[in-house]
Amino acid sequence: MKIAAIEVIEAVVPFDDGGSGIGITPGRWDSLEFVLVRVETDTGLIGWGECFAYSCRAAVATAARTMVAPLLEGRELPATPEPLNLELQKRLHIFGRYGIAMFAISGFDIALWDIAAQAQGKPLHALLGPQVRNEVSAYASLVRYGDPALVKKYCSDAKALGYRFVKLHEIEPAVMRAAREACGPEIGISVDVNCAWSPDVARERIPVLQEIDAMWIEEPVFPPEDIFNQAAINREFPVGAGENACTRYEFARMIDAGAVRFAQPSVIKVGGITEFVGVCAYAAAKGVAVMPHTPYFGPGYFATLHLLAGLRGEPLFEHLYIRPAADIALGGTPLPVQGTVPIPSSPGVGFAPDPAVLARFRLNA
């Protein structure tokens, strides 16, 4: 079985979150940027992948088209994509091991795993190991509102929808306390500050995190690779991190330094399914929990659900609490109902784009 055609597709889908859209990304964040990878084989199978593209869509799409695709065109496919992933990493390492190049590799890796699973007539998770769950608990990942009243509203809304866990992206104590007030004592809360604090401020905030009974503090300091200070904070309060890390090797450094209790690989950033699996294996060997990062709505969303099917412990699925203008997935994205999401069971990853939605929001025809 060989690769017969490759297409890289860009799309932008607006969303509403009830907030200002300011605070997390460099500019106003009010749309989902997609770089989708379509790989077709000479046997007619079509695999879909997704590259991380928020605020970097054009650069990632260019990398996918001009750096990765030429290395794969016409290639014979192995039973599973690990050898090709390793080859891509070796051939492209001079352009940077982390960031844009790895985002592009991630998308192709997901598409190739999709093909591998379809070729065997099995859902992706069946190729990765034993399935330990058919559904997974989700948490409502709220955007940064910076407003106690808005945080109370959306925490209350999430609770009413059956979510048992909520993640805040707030940096001010008053807003965090408002969230706990709205959630009550029974809802689990985690806090992601997206590297907004200095080490000193992070330490000063630990009493507030304890007061609201937070499950973990995510990416507490800048820069995210400052594992020395992150480890110091982790000794005092549980730290989750890894959405900005690529490959199992960067996670190994973090884990070996004692810098995380919750490793958070992102399948469309870390190097795809291949590297995600490597991270999980290393974390399991070291007794570190995996709590995936996945505020996405394309193949990365579906792939993460498959990866969660076999994860030991009590992992949670991150569901970005927004309202997209349309669902890009043909047949619909499996959304949380009463706080749980079903694991897809159809062959492959289970994603294909809705042609009408893609035609509406696609940028490169």
The verdict on 196 and 108 lying in the same domain is no
CATH number of residue 90's parent domain: 3.30.390.10
What's the rounded Cα separation, in Å, for the pair 279 and 249? 8
Would you say residue 347 lies in a domain? Answer: no
Query: From edge to edge, which strands make up the β-sheet containing 3-16?
Result: 46-51, 31-41, 3-16, 323-324
What's the rounded Cα separation, in Å, for the pair 113 and 271? 12
The verdict on 145 and 106 lying in the same domain is no
Residue 51's closest CA among 67, 27, 71, 75?
Answer: 67
The verdict on 272 and 132 lying in the same domain is yes
CATH number of residue 322's parent domain: 3.20.20.120
The verdict on 104 and 161 lying in the same domain is no
Would you say residue 348 lies in a domain? Answer: no
* Enclosing domain of residue 106: 3-121+354-361
> Which tens digits make up the pLDDT trace of 267-312?
999 999 999 999 999 999 999 999 999 989 999 999 999 999 999 9
The verdict on 91 and 217 lying in the same domain is no
Q: Which amino acid is at 222?
A: F
> Which tens digits make up the pLDDT trace of 44-96?
999 999 999 999 999 999 999 999 999 999 999 999 999 999 999 999 999 98
- Angle of CA points 179, 180, 182, to nearest 5°: 65
Burial 67-94 (b: 16+ CB within 10 A, else e): bbbeebeeeebeebbbebbeebbeebee
The verdict on 108 and 134 lying in the same domain is no
What's the rounded Cα separation, in Å, for the pair 240 and 237? 10
Would you say residue 198 lies in a domain? Answer: yes
Could you tell me if 146 and 306 are in contact, meaning their C-beta atoms sit under 8 angstroms apart? Answer: no
Would you say residue 112 lies in a domain? Answer: yes
Residue 165's closest CA among 187, 192, 195, 182?
Answer: 187
Would you say residue 69 lies in a domain? Answer: yes
Would you say residue 11 lies in a domain? Answer: yes
The verdict on 73 and 190 lying in the same domain is no
The verdict on 131 and 273 lying in the same domain is yes
The verdict on 111 and 163 lying in the same domain is no
How many domains is the chain built from?
2
The verdict on 36 and 107 lying in the same domain is yes
Tens-digit pLDDT string for the chain (365 aa):
999 999 999 999 999 988 776 666 666 789 999 999 999 999 999 999 999 999 999 999 999 999 999 999 999 999 999 999 999 999 999 998 899 999 999 999 999 999 999 999 999 999 999 999 999 999 999 999 999 999 999 999 999 999 999 999 999 999 999 999 999 999 999 999 999 999 999 999 999 999 999 999 999 999 999 999 999 999 999 999 999 999 999 999 999 999 999 999 999 999 999 999 999 999 999 999 999 999 899 999 999 999 999 999 999 999 999 999 999 999 999 999 999 999 999 999 999 999 999 999 999 75
> Could you give the residue ranges of the DSSP H alpha helices within 164-234?
173-183, 199-211, 227-234
Q: What is the DSSP letter of 334?
A: -
The verdict on 104 and 173 lying in the same domain is no
Q: What is the DSSP letter of 235?
A: T
Cα dihedral sign for 158, 163, 169, 175? positive
- The pTM assigned to this predicted structure is 0.97
The verdict on 117 and 154 lying in the same domain is no
Would you say residue 162 lies in a domain? Answer: yes
Contacts 24+ apart (CB under 8 A), 55-61: 55/25, 55/26, 55/27, 55/29, 56/100, 56/103, 57/10, 57/12, 57/33, 58/10, 59/100, 60/35, 60/100, 60/103, 60/104, 61/8, 61/10, 61/35, 61/364
Task: Give 265-292 as a 3 state SS string.
Answer: CCCCCCCHHHHHHHHHHHHHHHCCEECC
What's the rounded Cα separation, in Å, for the pair 238 and 169? 16
